[in-house]
Amino acid sequence: MTTSSTDDARRSLGIRLRDVRKDAGLTGKQLAELSGINNSRISRIEHGGATPTEENVTAWLTACGAQAQHGEIIATLRAVEEAYSEWRTRIRSGMRGAYRPIAIYQDVQAFRIHEPTLIPGAFQTPAYARAIVSFWQDFYAAPDDLDEAVAHRMRRAEAILGRRVAAVVGEAALRLRYTSEDAHEEQLLRLVESMRRPNVSLGLVPLGARLPGILSAGFIMYDDRVVYLETPTAEVAVRRPSEVAQYARLFGLFQAQSLYGRDARRLVLNAIGDLT
């Protein structure tokens, strides 16, 4: 899977490295001889067809006498690598690898969350979170660190709820069950409690609403800096400002179709009533 953000970032990095080579007065062939990087790979990197390794960047800059740019270009490379992160790589030593350090969430002022069919992680109970993590652990045959992974999700939820949160959740998430009836009822009651928090705006898109757009995957926005989307195989980071702005606009459209306050609580209580 590719995204315009990933492709654009890779191309921009390639152009930056090409300019470094040209500023040094080197041809691709000369750079290959000095750096040990294959000439065809140099061409692919410069045209955005391949992502360099950190070793490639170090050898490239050393050959060009541009070591002063090393820190900045390595940071750019890591941003490109983060734009598409495969789960299999991240959870090689356990599900805990899927999650970021808590400090990252504490650096965000406001979150915007959209989930069409799942209770967002910020509002999940331990039992609900355990069911979600357990499924993916089994799906990927990942090492068993379920308790640790669930504990981290709970700390992450606490960190997110310590900030301003605007969430839009599809009514389908109230009806789809990943746990026992009792655990699902507990989860829905937690959702009602979350609606009462002064820093939380939690809207529900009713099943009968005429939606302004189509979106099958949930996403979370960290301020206006980055949007993360999760697919069954990878996490995609969108950082390009124009694309982040499009997600913000889309989020606003879904907010306009959402129910809040008493109407939203009624949808949750109706879902609880249908469990019995």
For domain 4-82, give the fold.
Answer: 434 Repressor (Amino-terminal Domain) (1.10.260)
| Residue 3 clears pLDDT 70, i.e. is over it | no
User: Which regions of the chain carry the CATH code 3.30.870?
Assistant: 86-273
| Residue 2 clears pLDDT 60, i.e. is over it | no
Query: Which phi and psi angles does 66 have, rounded to 5°?
Result: -120, 40
pLDDT at 213: 65
Architecture in CATH for domain 86-273: 2-Layer Sandwich (3.30)
Instruction: Provide the mean pLDDT of the chain.
Output: 91
| Residue 1 clears pLDDT 50, i.e. is over it | no
Distance (Å, rounded) from C-alpha 100 to C-alpha 86?
Answer: 14
pLDDT at 8: 74
- The mean per-residue pLDDT over the stretch 34-44 comes to 95
- Per DSSP, the residues of 19-48 read HHHHHTT--HHHHHHHH---HHHHHHHHTT
pLDDT at 232: 86
Taking every pair of Cα atoms in the chain, the longest distance, rounded to a whole number of angstroms, is 76
pLDDT digit string, tens, across residues 100-157: 889 999 899 999 999 999 999 999 999 999 999 999 999 999 999 999 999 999 999 9
User: Which regions of the chain carry the CATH code 1.10.260.40?
Assistant: 4-82
Looking at residue 84, what DSSP letter applies? E
